[in-house]
Chain A
């Protein structure tokens, strides 16, 4: 300890401390970062349970008959797919007023409850239903999925599916480690700012191809490590400016100082 204390004023001490701190933060984050949950396919179809759940949890904002209020839109005709997506990804019930609902790891209901809620909302008006598992399995054509993803999805969700900013604080969420069913439902229902990609625009097979490509990206290992969020030139440029240029300036200062 004494040897350490005597060197605490060494010029390199602050650099070493900073590096240690950064490494500890990075290491801890990658160990403790939340992993996504997987929802299983629903089995129960109990309309009464669904209506009870709806009245208890959703009616405050969406109205007693899901007709919509100032606080929330009408749910007539949104279909079971919208409920399965919004509730199954933890977006609804909304945790608090925000610019947009974000994906959450705490899903308030179990799969059976979500299924009954969805079944109830589906009776309010015709809308997209929960997709067949053959189109969400992600065993489609990966190359074609890549092409479709780049044309239809990449401008908002980023080339690597990392998500990106929209106007006025809204954002397109990350698509990494999202289940195929939820991706399919999002395309079909167009939640929040997202446009609708109906079956005539992207056929169920097209959607499955996109899901296959996204799942392939999830499996993809990064040879270089340190993805910096896969966010493109902004984060990478900032890293280069701060660390790359910082190191060069430090080296130039060291070269320029006199030894004595």
Chain B
């Protein structure tokens, strides 16, 4: 019997409750989807070796017991090793290499112990526990027509008795009160999203006149210090005094390189630099990884995360990879003492794209 209360087709000869054979229940097709799929029933049950032979069952029993036994041994090994093995002994272990002996023994014994409990339980379930297919029939979900009718009548009677339809003043007042009550919830939700980011994403710590400082020492850099082929990792002057040091550092990181001015192909790049010294934002325009892999012969800048490659001779044009926008250049100059300083803040937002920037 299935849930519609019909007999599965082709099952008329079988006794109720017994499984169908696989070659039974076949229906001649007529080219369309049948109105109702018939229950094919269960495949015939195949008995396991352990069900048929006592010897096999005993062997399975021994195997399960052995797995649990291995687990017991491994647990004992763990307990002994916990106290016996020195914490600072290193040894060569094949396949793992030079490693801390205590770590390896504790980890592997605990692992074997737990694994063997699991293996034993599964082996037990698969070989010895009953594996006959059991079908549990479900009663129809639909309520009887009688109780459905009764429910509708109860609802209608309640609406009538509350006089909601007869007294519109109450109806509208209640509607207004409930409708307005939703507002405080919505207002709190919108209000708790926090302040708008304002210009934080588009601006950095860099201001005109700030010196370029070595990271992490924060010492100023003379233009003459930067020889051709050099790369300096740079932070703005005074960033350590910033209230949000790490956030500012994450946006303000700059890479300073010196190329032979003849190698620079873009006039704007040469103008914004100083005698072949150019400064570019170190934050990748793809997803914001630090682009620090500068190859001094090819003048390629590579981002280690997704292999975006920028050509420093062409104003950090993208020559490979998923980045979509060249790295922003920082306009630099030298002050009276010969130290490099920013000639203007970044003219565009550094780092990856965001909603307002597009």
What residues of chain A have their CB less than 8 Å away from a CB belonging to chain B?
22-23, 26-27, 30, 147-148, 151-152, 155-156, 164, 166-168, 170, 172, 190, 192-198, 200-201, 221-227, 254-255, 258-260
Contact = CB atoms under 8 A, between A and B. Distances in A.
Given A166-B302, A200-B222, A151 B216 contact: yes
Nearest to A33: B97
A97 to B, nearest CB: 16
Contacts of B92: 30
A17 to B, nearest CB: 15
6 contacts: A166-B295, A166-B302, A195-B231, A221-B98, A224-B103, A258-B126
Query: Which residue of B47, B99, B233, B293 has the most chain A CB atoms within 10 A of its CB atom?
Result: B293
Interface of B: 46-50, 90, 92-100, 103-104, 122, 126-127, 131, 214-216, 221-222, 224-233, 257, 290, 292-298, 300, 302, 304, 307, 309, 320
B295 A225 contact: no
Contacts of B90: 221
Nearest to B127: A259
Contacts of A26: 94-95, 97
A49 B50 CA distance: 86
Contacts of A227: 97
Contact of A260 (B49, B104, B224, B307): B49
B232 to A, nearest CB: 6
A27 B292 contact: no
Contact of B293 (A148, A166, A200): A166
Contacts of B47: 260
B230 A196 contact: yes
Given A167-B295, A192-B297, A224 B99 contact: yes
Nearest to B256: A201
Contacts of A155: 290, 292-293, 304
Contacts of A168: 298
Nearest to A100: B297
A195 B229 contact: yes
A56 to B, nearest CB: 27
B297 A193 contact: yes
Nearest to B128: A259
B263 to A, nearest CB: 14
Given A147-B216, A151-B215, A223 B99 contact: yes
B355 to A, nearest CB: 28
B304 A193 contact: no
Nearest to B103: A223
B100 A196 contact: no
A30 B297 contact: no
Contact of B230 (A30, A201, A255): A201
In order of increasing CB-CB distance, the 8 nearest A-B pairs are: A225-B99, A155-B292, A200-B225, A225-B96, A195-B231, A193-B295, A223-B100, A259-B126
B214 A201 contact: yes
Contacts of B320: 167
A227 B103 CA distance: 14
Given A26-B94, A164-B304, A221 B225 contact: no
A22 B95 contact: yes
Query: Which residue of B103, B226, B229 has the most chain A CB atoms within 10 A of its CB atom?
Result: B229
Contacts of A170: 295
A198 B293 contact: no
Nearest to A147: B216
Contacts of B97: 26, 30, 222, 225-227
A226 B96 contact: yes
B100 A190 contact: no
A37 to B, nearest CB: 21
Given A195-B294, A196-B227, A225 B104 contact: yes
Nearest to B50: A259
B290 A198 contact: no
